Every structure is written in C-alpha cells, then in structure tokens.
Structure 1
Amino acid sequence: MTPAVIELRAATKTYPGGVHALRGVDLRVERGELTAIVGPSGSGKSTLLNLLGTLDRATSGEVRVAGYDVSRLSDAQLSALRARHIGFVFQHFHLAPGRSAQDNVADGLLYGGTGLRERRSRARTALEEVGLGHRIGHLAHQLSGGEKQRVAIARALVGEPDLLLADEPTGALDTVSGALVMNLIRDLHAAGRTVCVITHDHDIADSLPRRIRFRDGEIVDDSGAVPAAPGSPLEPTEEVTR
C-alpha cells in the first residue's frame, strides 16, 4: 500500500507550563488531496504546520511525512526530508531583494547538490508552470504582490516535493491577487499535487475539497477523514540520509 503523504496518530504537542497545543490528533492525507486546515488563532493549526513541515517534533504520538516516521530521523535527515519532499509557501514571500525571479526560484535547490545551470533550467520550468515565464529576469521589487507569491510557489515546487504546505498564502494580498493565487493552487491540485492550505479564512477553506477544522488543539470537524492504515514505523532510508 502506498504510504499517505501525511499521517498522524495520537499526535500531541505540549509546551512548558502545561500548554497543550495539540491533543491526540489523528490525521491522514493521501497523495493528490487539496486540504484546508482552518481555525482561529490559538487553535493549533500553526503547531500542526510545524510538525508537518518537520520544523518541530511531537511530544508524543506518531508523525509521518512522505512515508517517514520523523521521530526516527536525525536533524540532518530531517533537513534532507524537507529539501526533497516538502515545499513551503508563507504569507510573506521571503524573496531575496536584488535577485531575479529565476534566481529566487533556483535558490530552492541550493541544498540538493544541483548545479547552477540545472537549477536555473528547473527554475524556468517552475516559473512557466505558475504563469510567470515572461517575468523570469525581473527583480523582486519589480513584481506585484501576486507575482511575488507565484514566484514563492514556484520556489516551493522546483524540487518536485511530495507535499506543498501553504501557510496563509493570500494573507498579504488584495482580493484579486488572492483569488489568482488560489486558482493557481487549484490548478496545481488538478495536475496531481498534494497541497495543504493553512488558513483562518473560512471562505477559502469552504472553497476547497477537504476541510479540517481545529479548535483548542483538536480536530473538531473533517469533511473527508481517511482512517489511519495499520503498519509499523518506517526505518529511515538512504534517500534522506546524509
């Protein structure tokens, strides 16, 4: 059986002082799903994002991303997992000033050992995929907000990750630009990408095929829950070993 892109079993996250950010979360996201993770501030969705992105570890329970039990990976292996299997898109674009759109996207491959010519070639392809093939030489300050976010999405896609995590991807955009970005995300899903959109915007969440609602560190509603599959933890593989 093909492993889920995301699988959590009884995952918890507790911070000093008895703060329970996640409380026994069970979640499974299959390859090719487009999912909204929605909830107000303090609901646990940002903590979940950090676990899914392997930026933090669960206090207890099991978290698997792209088939890997992240608790069994070293810091170096986690870095390799992020580089090869996870693409991040944030509310603020984090583009390097003074660098072209192409080079900003190519930077997404810096830690994969890819040569400069190949990085730039793949960056061009990724920019064409998000509709910015005509803007590859433009500097960050020459791009609109919506274009900057599409460059950021291209940077997240350039490594061909199993999972795209989009954290409030329209939060810094006007309504029109935000709609264009969400249409792009839907197009990526239609092409077979697995995308999780983390948002507090219920209108955005309600427009997506699957909606997972968080409150007080727990899932209170899931429009498309998939039961967890039985199986033993996976060993780290050579693919994410450094």
Structure 2
Amino acid sequence: MTPTAVIELRDAAKSYAGGVHALREVNLTVEEGELLAVVGPSGSGKSTVLNLMGTLDRPTSGVVRVTGYDVSELSDSGLSALRARDIGFVFQHFHLAAGRDAVSNVADGLLYAGVPVKERRARAKEALAKVGLDHRFTHTPNELSGGEKQRVAIARALVGNPRVLLADEPTGALDSASGALVMELLRELNACGTTVCVITHDNEIANSLPRQVRFKDGAIVSDSRARARTGSSAGPRVVSRTEGRGW
C-alpha cells in the first residue's frame, strides 16, 4: 500500500521584514504513521517549520499541504477547523491553565470541535487514563510533577484523535527520567497509528527516532529517510491509523 502524505512542504520559504529568511525553499514530506525528529540548533528554522506544519503560519512562498489541504487556500476559520480536527500540539512549557484540574485542561482541547461539555469531560478522562493519569483527574497543575504536567498536555493534544501530533521540545523542561517516560509514551502513541513529529535541539533524542530531518540556516541539510531509500538501511515502518488505534 502506498503511504499517504499527511504533511507536504514544496519549495516552502518564510521571510520577515528586514530581509530575514527563516526558511529557504524547503521540501519535506511526512507520511501517515511516521515518527520523526526535526532537529537543529536555535535559529536553524525548526520552529518556523513547526508553525507551517501546524498551520499556525503561512509560507511567504511555496506550498504547504496538511492532510491534503493547501493552507494558502484556507481562511483563518478554515485553518482553525483543520487544527481542531487533524493536529495536536505539545509544547515544552505545557501551557496548562493553572486553576483548572487535569480533566478540565484536557477537555479544553475539544473547545473548538463542537463537542458537548459532558462528552468533552468523558473523553478527557479517557485520554488521561490512556497516558496513565486516571488517579490525577482532580489535580491542578501545581499539584503535578513536571512529567505529569507533560502527560496532561499530551492527553489534551490527543483527546480529539488528531492525525498528526507536533511535539515542540517535549522534554526540554523535564529531568532525564521524566523525559525518557514522555518519549516512551510518544513512541507508544506512534505504534498505535498517530503520526508524531518531535521538534528538538537534542541530538540524543533525535538519534533515537526512526527518521531525523536536520536543519541549519533555514534549510534541510540531511534527511535520514532519504539515505535509507538509497539503500543504506530500511526506512521506518508506516503504521495506518486503522491498524493500531488501541492505546
């Protein structure tokens, strides 16, 4: 079966006032079921790529397609609907509401999906249980460890069953043990069919994933999948969403 592209960048570039070129004619395809790292130092362009892949920004030139939609052809409301339906975000600093318990924070991930309040909370509890936090439903962020906060954030990202999970430095605010647990959770989610893209500056994390796309000065300087397809090693297994949604 031919893999399905969930994200495509074709000659995608992003420039800002003053002649700042954050991204230079990037070509990148992410296929359904992939687990990959977008890696590079600060200022390399990886955050700009995240914003384009997550439809948080539009390219200055070139084409960006997400789950088959050309983002330049969608209105702001259309992009919001696309994000609510198909994309989950996990950030380094969690972005949890301080005065709200874990269930409420996760249920907020369905605010723009038109889901009734009772169903939002039921699905939030299910998502928390799946990341091992069914004993933390009523706890607020200040009652949770860093690793637990990140698992709440992952549950919030996944409560809407997105096709793509974009994790921006997901272990950056965690100790090494908590970070290892979060990465293992991301691997488990990917094994169940979710496409996972980890944006990181950490080479150790990047090298632990099946595919590494390395950026420098706004351009891709290497892509391990491209090397694999020339015969140096086997490419990553692509898992369909219908094959493994059991987590």
TM-score > 0.5 by shorter chain = yes
Calculate the aligned-residue CA RMSD, in Å.
Answer: 1.3
State the alpha-carbon separation in 1 of the partners of residues 73 and 160 from structure 2.
23
Task: Kindly provide the amino acid, as one letter, of the partner of residue 161 in structure 1.
Answer: P
Counterpart in the other structure of 2:136? 135
Counterpart in the other structure of 1:158? 159
Counterpart in the other structure of 1:189? 190
Contact kept? 1:87, 1:161, Cα under 8 Å: yes
State the alpha-carbon separation in 1 of the partners of residues 3 and 119 from structure 2.
30
Task: Kindly provide the amino acid, as one letter, of the partner of residue 104 in structure 1.
Answer: N
Calculate the TM-score normalised by the size of structure 2. 0.89
State the alpha-carbon separation in 2 of the partners of residues 145 and 39 from structure 1.
24
The CA deviation at 1:103 is 0.8
2:81 is equivalent to residue 49 of structure 1: no
The CA deviation at 1:137 is 1.6
Unaligned runs of 5+ in 2: 230-247
Which runs of structure 2 are paired with 1:1-242 in the superposition (5 Å)?
Answer: 3-225=4-226
State the alpha-carbon separation in 1 of the partners of residues 85 and 161 from structure 2.
8
User: Once superposed, which parts of structure 1, at least 4 consecutive aligned residues long, lie more than 4 Å away?
Assistant: none
Counterpart in the other structure of 1:233? none
Task: Kindly provide the amino acid, as one letter, of the partner of residue 162 in structure 1.
Answer: R
Q: How many residues align?
A: 227
Contact kept? 2:90, 2:165, Cα under 8 Å: yes
Flag the 1:77–1:2 CA change in 2: closer, same or farther, 3 A.
farther
State the alpha-carbon separation in 2 of the partners of residues 195 and 3 from structure 1.
14
Calculate the TM-score normalised by the size of structure 1. 0.91
Unaligned runs of 5+ in 1: 228-242
More divergent stretch after superposition (101-110 vs 134-143): 134-143
State the alpha-carbon separation in 1 of the partners of residues 52 and 199 from structure 2.
13
The CA deviation at 1:3 is 4.3
Task: Kindly provide the amino acid, as one letter, of the partner of residue 163 in structure 2.
Answer: D
Contact kept? 1:150, 1:181, Cα under 8 Å: yes
State the alpha-carbon separation in 2 of the partners of residues 216 and 96 from structure 1.
35
Counterpart in the other structure of 1:234? none
State the alpha-carbon separation in 2 of the partners of residues 76 and 95 from structure 1.
24
State the alpha-carbon separation in 1 of the partners of residues 128 and 118 from structure 2.
15
Task: Kindly provide the amino acid, as one letter, of the partner of residue 152 in structure 2.
Answer: V
Deviation digits for residues 52-101 of structure 1 (CA, Å, limit 9, x no counterpart): 11111101110001111101000110011111111000000111112111
State the alpha-carbon separation in 1 of the partners of residues 222 and 31 from structure 2.
18
Identity rate, percent:
71
Contact kept? 2:212, 2:225, Cα under 8 Å: yes
The CA deviation at 1:153 is 0.3
Contact kept? 1:3, 1:67, Cα under 8 Å: no
Contact kept? 2:3, 2:31, Cα under 8 Å: no
